[in-house]
A and B are shown apart, each in its own frame.
Chain A
Amino acid sequence: MAHAATHDEHHDEHHEHQNFFQRWVMSTNHKDIGTLYLVFSLLMFFIGGSFAMVIRAELFKPGLQLVQPYFFNEMTTMHALVMIFGAVMPAFVGLGNWMIPMMVGAPDMALPRMNNLSFWILPFAFALMLSTLFLPGGGPAGGWTMYPPLSLQSASTAYVVFAIHLMGISSIMGAINIIATILNMRAPGMDLLKMPVFVWSWLITAFLLIAVMPVLAGAVTMLLTDKYFSTHFFDAAGGGDPVLFQHVFWFFGHPEVYIMILPAFGIISEIIPTFARKPIFGYKAMVFAIASIAFLSFIVWAHHMFAVGLPLGAEIFFMYATMLIAVPTGVKVFNWVATMWGGSMTFETPMLFAIAFVILFTIGGFSGLMLALVPADFQYHDTYFVVAHFHYVLVTGAIFAIMAATYYWIPKWTGNMYSEFWGKVHFWNSVVWVNVLFFPQHFLGLAGMPRRIPDYNVAFANFNMISSIGGFLFGASQLIFLSVIIHCVWFSKKKATDRVWEGARGLEWTLSSPPPHHSFTIAPVIHDEELAHGHVED
């Protein structure tokens, strides 16, 4: 019976001997590992979010009321590290784990045991990193970018570097697995140019991960040897250069930014056609745009460093290259709008988040374009304008896409419908408060308030208070998200159909809801009209 509860499905197959430990800790099943990734990322989202609450509480009004400046710096640093490496990246890997095999008609990931290892490294990596907050000397407080010489003053360098090595190993293994799955495990007839855009976005993202995570590992290893073995890579007194670190770091860091947004593009490209009941507009252009953005991400790193004193030629090159990214990004946004145009739209929670994504991510893109203009960047750089920019891209971009994906696929995962009413309550609270939280930060930055300061002049008081109020309420709104998920998984009485959404297309919707523990053990037959983007002509 297609609508049987998850556990019954497992009993149907050869899993009845598994206890809890065997099922979750020793799992090699892409769905279970996907779930582990998603649960882990949700946990990290709340831990990283609680750090953000400390930050916003201290910034609620001028004067230091709650924490010492050093602890404040630990909070900003940890907030970023936890959100980037703990919340956003594992969430996308979890979504990829769950959905890629089901979308390409594969029985599982290509390398299931490595899949288990790449997840189970993560809890140890984060235990190591978070433990520094409770150790003498405290956690890292030099910013997530870890610029030397400041980062070398921290007592926790070794812990953080090893934690990042572990996260990097996990990411690289995950990326290899995804590439191997997509390139080798597609069902017959699932040509590369028939793959859902989400799968394409992950294929490209996985290559980015493999290319840049070793660069980060190298950079932090040099920090480690600088601190403990006097190597002077980044120490001018020993013939090194602090700016070298920034070049190497951002050679990782900029592609990293796209690692956090390309899968989001993929998700939105799945959701909008479903709820517009119309194939994605310009499928090939969408794929090509993702590939171009990925390529460009390797040649724009120094736009994070316009104020370090680059030569004129370098500033001009990196400015032009950065501005060029607006072209493929624009194509994507226009194509999403064109997908809606002439459709037959309904506005369930995933679609609401997707629409909010398109608008708010584009606002983040606009401020990105402004930041690319070097003379203007000399004003914006390291102010709250930058903070506003990247939170629009990462919170209303990446995280809204992850939430959209959760609402979109959770009926498929659990076999239960979530509460549409509470989903919408969550959406409207999130979208309102996130703007109250981040929009005033543009003004703070334009007025000249620097980033990463625990206290400020009274001229910045009004917008900081508004931003903090938005922050608390946005944070509280995520408890609704948690409740909707818990309700959907364990308490929802409303069963999901196999198709779930009227306009849903793609192989994953041909499976039961929830899908059998092992799906597509026999390769499916591909019908073009079943695919999300319809027929690709020419």
Chain B
Amino acid sequence: MTQLVVGPFNRVEGDLEVRLDVQDGAVEAAYANSPLFRGFEKMLAGADPRDALTITPRICGICSISQSVAAALALADAAKVEMPQQAKLAAAVLHGVENLADHITHFYLFFMPDFARPAYEGHDWYDEVVTRFTATRGTSQKAALDARARLFHITGVLGGKWPHTLAIQPAGVTRAPTAAERVRMLSTLKGFRRFLEAHLFGAPLEDFLALESRADLATWRTGDAGLFLRAAQELGLDGLGVGPRRYLSYGAYPMASGRTTRAGLWVDGQMGAFDPTSIVEHVSRSWMTGAAAHPFEGYTDPDEDMSETGYSWCKAPRLDGLTAEVGALARGIVDGHPLALSVAADGGVAARIAGRLLEIARTQIWLEEWVTALDPAQRFMGEFEVPKDGRGAGLVEAARGSLGHWLTIEDGRIANYQIIAPTTWNFSPRDENDAPGPLEAALVGAPVAACDKTPLSVQHIVRSFDPCMVCTVH
């Protein structure tokens, strides 16, 4: 057996190290290490609860609005208030724009450049991939960057800036849009649709959304998506990096009529309800002190000696004692979308990318509907006061999956704050039962060539999860 240490693992958000035990040309065991500890939960202890709205978005520069919405919902839950219906729409627009942009950043900047590596020379798609996706130079990369920057003009209007807006509050949003701003945002969205249809899909979004099965998807040949699908089929990426096949979603985008996508847990073809009280974070293999606990009871106290039993600053969240995979694919599956359910049968690298492509198309259409539904004549802010004592949870869906904030207020100050981020789920270390996290399990069996120090198969699998390491440990 040989051991490989892959790091710095770049083109993921934040710092990641993956240790691999390799036997007979394949990964036998994998260990994911989140090597950065900052301690946001400790920073928040004793703070004015409202300060969570300023501090927690700064956990992450790529999922900043997700953190912001989770904090706002946790405070709202503790104070027993709710945003007015139009504020929910505006918050969903801000959040949807970030999630959409994150998927684009992932596909164009983080994931696709690996297919432009010399190792793939000779494949009939290779030259085209090199032109479009070579890191820092690809023509599609640059087009995506331009389109992404323009899409963020919506956060300029409604949120002041991105990342790190303070516009989303427990009882509403700080900025009531005007009628002129509403039509301007619609025009910005039209521009983004033009990019998606010209570059990513090479066809109307509705055509992609009409795909209902992996067989349908296999016929898609246009746009950058088609180029990926060609490469994926040739390289067998559907069977690579299969996860635990337990898919969790908290349900995305709370609206007056409920969440836009369903919440739940999908296991082996069965949809079940998801019970937030059955979440437990294990710390046995983390550089953390304490015992396994639900986030309302848990705390964060790093083991300064970094004892031998631990190998990551990340805790290991488990649902009913088991791992769960979160992300765009999980959301699509739990929401019952036929294409997502169909690719769930594979559950590997290609399925995760398909789940994201599907969600890009759906999110663009949701955003168009939401901005259209904004009514500048309505109220965008209600009343909110910090309760003297209370507790609340804020559960949202970030681009990378389920994000939760659990807050306890005592005597008007934060007594405890716990966060479980999407990549805490996906890239968790082993738990008390020595069960590996979803990524660690997905890496087992990945092929490794004899002289390979940074196996491409491992890179595809890791990046297919779109990890956000700064959120993971926070």
Are both chains from one complex?
no
- A interface residues, Cβ below 8 angstroms from B: none
